[in-house]
Amino acid sequence: MQSAVPPFARPFLFLCLATAIAGWHTATLAAVPPLLLKSSGKLSSPAVKPLPAPGPTHLEADHIAGQEDREVVAEGKVVVRNLRERIEADWLRYDQVADEVEARGRVVYSQNRDRIESGDLRLKLESRLGSARAVRYEVYAPDGRRSRGGAETLNFSGVDRYELEDATYTSCAAGNDDWLLKIRDLDLDYTRNVGTARHVRVEFLDVPILYAPWMDFSLDNSRKSGFLAPSYGASDERGVELVAPWYWNIAPNRDATLYPRLMSKRGLQLGAEFRYLEQDPEHQYGGELRLEYLPDDRQAERDRLNVVLRHDHRFRGSWSGSLHYERVSDDDYFADLSSLISQTSRVNLPQQGSLSYDGGWWRASGLYQRYQTLQDPDAPVTEPYHRVPQLHLTAQRQVPGQTWAWFDFTGEYTQFDHRGGDFVRGGRLHAYPSVRVPLKTSYATITPRLGWHYTRYFLDGDTVNRRDAVATAAPAQGYADVSRGLPVFSLDANLLLEREWSLGAGNFIQTLEPRLFYVNIPYKNQDRIPVFDSALKDLSLDEMFGENKFTGVDRVNDAKQLTLAMTSRILDQDNGVERLQVTLGQVHYFRGQRVGLTPVTTVNSANTSDLIAQIGGQLTRQWRLQSGVQYSTNDSDLVKGNVGGAYRDGPGRLFNIDYRYYKDLINEDNSINQLDLSAQWPLAPKWYGVGRLNYSLRDRRLVEGLAGFEYNAGCWSLRGVLQRLVTTEAKTSNAFYLQLELRGLTKLGPNPLDVLSRSISGYAKSDEFDLAD
């Protein structure tokens, strides 16, 4: 969104009002009548704390003279001060008959750290008519950033109306004018809260880089329509591109942004975003609508379209709802027109609406959900089932009359649909009531749970005998309207032991945290049940303590198993930092497993699962280590592993390294063997470099590469980033970002900060710290 007040307008606000001596109240002198100056209330930076009351006003000078009811004259080191403000001058005269203040010599106004200087000043107090010349100011924002500037002439044109001639603004330090905002004529009208500037230009290193013959802006922190700073960039997929956004302030709770995007290789794309927000006692809602249209893409030789709608609504009472709809014209839209991996990696675009009711201890919701599935010809995926609709109910409360027992319930009815002709369609009713009894002490917890899984299927007669494309090789008799009921018993127990431990000069606490989890579920043949939304979960420490190894409810595993895990931590007593954590876990099966995702799926018949081990911690002030392995004790083979470390030596001094390995025994193409390096590091005073290398050792291919720099001159920064990104199995995209930031004014060029923050863990902008130190 556009800034409500252009940054250069704020210093002029202080300049005008301060020079008008606003905020003064009275100056009491012997034999001299009170001097009353009106306060406008606008003389304050947007500080967090309100200004204190001004209190009494004191006047000091080498010589003070005057005539009662006519004038007062102060000469030589004149100082007028109160608890809030201070003004200094060489000579000051107040003519009560003409109601006019006149100051000569060096006039200095200060409030906190804000400081404004001018030459001669003449001002009629009641009418606010007058002028000041050779005005200079220095003001501070709430975050401590300083800005300065001036004007050749300041004219007071009435109450809360000011005119400045040849005004300037910069955030650079005194004596450094690397960049300057120059305005020939500036009108500030606080009666309408509108500022108008004519012949506005920005000079960078004495070279004009921006110019506007006329512009207006808001003075009261309200948004205002107008052009935003343009951005540009370059990539091999799109060529040189330029975006010139225009902001439309429709109402206080509604706005829109139009952002035409010119790409030398593809043409002119038209984009628009509309946002809205409403809050009243009856309704609270908000959302956005975004449209992007590229007619006749010169590379793809077709029209390209992207539609996004998001809406969240909270009704009166406990009702709420949402809409989320996304659609693109073709599978390659994001790969061709985006350089963000968060976009290019998208596969399923949601098209859904939901409605929910919160009843306190229970909650009901409804969902209608479809997808647009984007296909990569070199890596096709199976389109998921659509939920048309899904009704869901959850509940949790203490068993009436039994404060030691809890009742939990989750249930749903879902109607599944699919565009594929060989996919089974139908409805599914599921209910899982359970009772748990948590028994807790300060050092141990034991929670037995007893529940019942019930599922009933209502399949479409036209598809009941077809073979599901997901559950391949279905039995010859096909699927059927079946029901399944299974009792579930689980017992979760953990213990926390700790002791004090010393090593050298360090004092630590060592913990020992054993945990066991027992599950018993009888076997039931589920081959005639279709697979709508179930899949085998990846083995992990968290999943080891779950009742079902499958996602969804189409498959419920048979189980008579015990999970054993042990965690030990070493905690620094001085600051609570976890210096080391070691965890081992494994599942032991008392009988062979028989339920698979499909009738032909190979089921684990071993007595134990793979062994999971994790080790990590803050080893030193700078180094943190995190690693884990999944090892098959039955096959004596490494299935999954990762080892990584992060070095932090203050902001802007970081290094990350991560190695990931995964061996897919079913589909070798899904295996992973990657090395990921990233860093941000000072190269010289005011300079630092950034980079990332994500390389697939298995494919001998660069997944993502990034190299760049940033130069921080204090009041401006220059960032340059070159990125290479794999967008599909067969496509890569190269993009270049070059951005100039004039601190306190604007940013010019494409924004690389989102790319840097996502690619480099711990990245921070150079203006958030001082690299020179």
When pLDDT is averaged across residues 6-34 and rounded to a whole number, the result is 28
What 8-state DSSP symbol labels residue 518? E
156 Cα distance to chain centroid: 44
CA–CA dist 31, 35 (Å, integer)? 12
pLDDT tens-place string over residues 269-283: 999 999 999 988 778
When pLDDT is averaged across residues 214-241 and rounded to a whole number, the result is 81
Looking at per-residue confidence, does 6 or 49 come out higher? 49
pLDDT tens-place string over residues 584-625: 999 999 998 999 998 888 888 889 999 999 999 999 999 999
Q: Which pLDDT score is estimated for 464?
A: 67
Q: Which pLDDT score is estimated for 359?
A: 94
Cβ atoms of 569 and 577 within 8 Å: the answer is: no
The pLDDT confidence band at residue 31, using thresholds 50, 70 and 90, is very low
> In the Cβ-directed half-sphere of 451, how many Cα atoms lie within 13 Å?
26
**pLDDT over threshold 50, residue 738:** yes
Q: What is the torsion angle, in degrees rounded to the nearest 10, for the CA atoms of residue 585, residue 588, residue 592 and residue 595?
A: -40
Looking at per-residue confidence, does 734 or 125 come out higher? 734
Looking at per-residue confidence, does 662 or 224 come out higher? 662
Q: Which pLDDT score is estimated for 226?
A: 84
When pLDDT is averaged across residues 634-638 and rounded to a whole number, the result is 90
**pLDDT over threshold 70, residue 254:** yes
Both tokens assigned to 312: 């969240």
Q: Which pLDDT score is estimated for 717?
A: 93
**pLDDT over threshold 80, residue 57:** no
Q: Which pLDDT score is estimated for 25?
A: 25
Contacts of 624 (CB under 8 A, 6+ apart): 616, 617, 618, 645, 646, 648
The percent of residues in the chain predicted with pLDDT above 70, rounded, is: 90
DSSP H or E stretch at residue 342: helix 341-344
When pLDDT is averaged across residues 50-73 and rounded to a whole number, the result is 77
**pLDDT over threshold 70, residue 15:** no
User: How would you classify residue 762: left for phi > 0, otherwise alpha for psi between -120 and 50, otherwise beta?
Assistant: left
Q: Which pLDDT score is estimated for 53?
A: 57
The pLDDT confidence band at residue 573, using thresholds 50, 70 and 90, is very high
CA–CA dist 291, 314 (Å, integer)? 25
CA–CA dist 516, 561 (Å, integer)? 10
**pLDDT over threshold 90, residue 415:** yes
The pLDDT confidence band at residue 54, using thresholds 50, 70 and 90, is low
The pLDDT confidence band at residue 478, using thresholds 50, 70 and 90, is low
When pLDDT is averaged across residues 130-141 and rounded to a whole number, the result is 86
pLDDT tens-place string over residues 542-568: 999 999 999 999 999 999 999 999 999
Mean pLDDT check: name the lowest of 59-63, 419-423, 486-490.
419-423
**pLDDT over threshold 80, residue 12:** no
Looking at per-residue confidence, does 344 or 398 come out higher? 398
When pLDDT is averaged across residues 157-170 and rounded to a whole number, the result is 88
**pLDDT over threshold 90, residue 730:** no
455 Cα distance to chain centroid: 40
Q: Name the pTM for this structure.
A: 0.79
Cβ atoms of 329 and 302 within 8 Å: the answer is: yes
Q: Could you please report the per-residue DSSP string of 24-60?
A: -----BTTB--------S--S-S-SSPPPP----EEE
When pLDDT is averaged across residues 434-448 and rounded to a whole number, the result is 95
By three-state DSSP, how is residue 4 classified? coil
User: How would you classify residue 97: left for phi > 0, otherwise alpha for psi between -120 and 50, otherwise beta?
Assistant: alpha
When pLDDT is averaged across residues 725-740 and rounded to a whole number, the result is 85
Cβ atoms of 382 and 408 within 8 Å: the answer is: no
Cβ atoms of 159 and 148 within 8 Å: the answer is: no
Among 152-166, 238-252, 581-595, the range with the most confident prediction by mean pLDDT is: 581-595
**pLDDT over threshold 70, residue 10:** no
Both tokens assigned to 433: 């009531």
**pLDDT over threshold 80, residue 479:** no
Both tokens assigned to 703: 């997944």
Cβ atoms of 319 and 700 within 8 Å: the answer is: no
Q: What are phi and psi of 279, to 5 degrees?
A: -140, 115
Looking at per-residue confidence, does 495 or 192 come out higher? 495
Mean pLDDT check: name the lowest of 41-55, 101-115, 456-470, 518-532.
41-55
Cβ atoms of 248 and 256 within 8 Å: the answer is: yes
149 Cα distance to chain centroid: 34
Of 398, 396, 372, 402, which is closest to residue 384 (Cα–Cα)? 372
The pLDDT confidence band at residue 371, using thresholds 50, 70 and 90, is very high
Residue 650 CB neighbours (<10 A): 12
CA–CA dist 52, 31 (Å, integer)? 29
CA–CA dist 619, 577 (Å, integer)? 10
Cβ atoms of 197 and 9 within 8 Å: the answer is: no
The pLDDT confidence band at residue 769, using thresholds 50, 70 and 90, is low
Q: Which pLDDT score is estimated for 17?
A: 31
Cβ atoms of 87 and 79 within 8 Å: the answer is: yes
Of 403, 392, 400, which is closest to residue 428 (Cα–Cα)? 392
Mean pLDDT check: name the lowest of 142-156, 449-463, 702-716.
142-156
DSSP H or E stretch at residue 528: none
When the pLDDT of each residue in the chain is averaged and rounded to a whole number, the result is: 85
When pLDDT is averaged across residues 669-679 and rounded to a whole number, the result is 93
Residue 142 CB neighbours (<10 A): 10
Looking at per-residue confidence, does 467 or 4 come out higher? 467
Q: Which pLDDT score is estimated for 755?
A: 87
CA–CA dist 640, 632 (Å, integer)? 9
Both tokens assigned to 124: 């009629």
When pLDDT is averaged across residues 621-648 and rounded to a whole number, the result is 94
Both tokens assigned to 200: 């506005």
Looking at per-residue confidence, does 727 or 612 come out higher? 612
Among 26-35, 52-61, 232-241, 285-294, the range with the most confident prediction by mean pLDDT is: 285-294
Q: Which pLDDT score is estimated for 52?
A: 52
pLDDT tens-place string over residues 741-760: 998 888 887 888 888 988 99
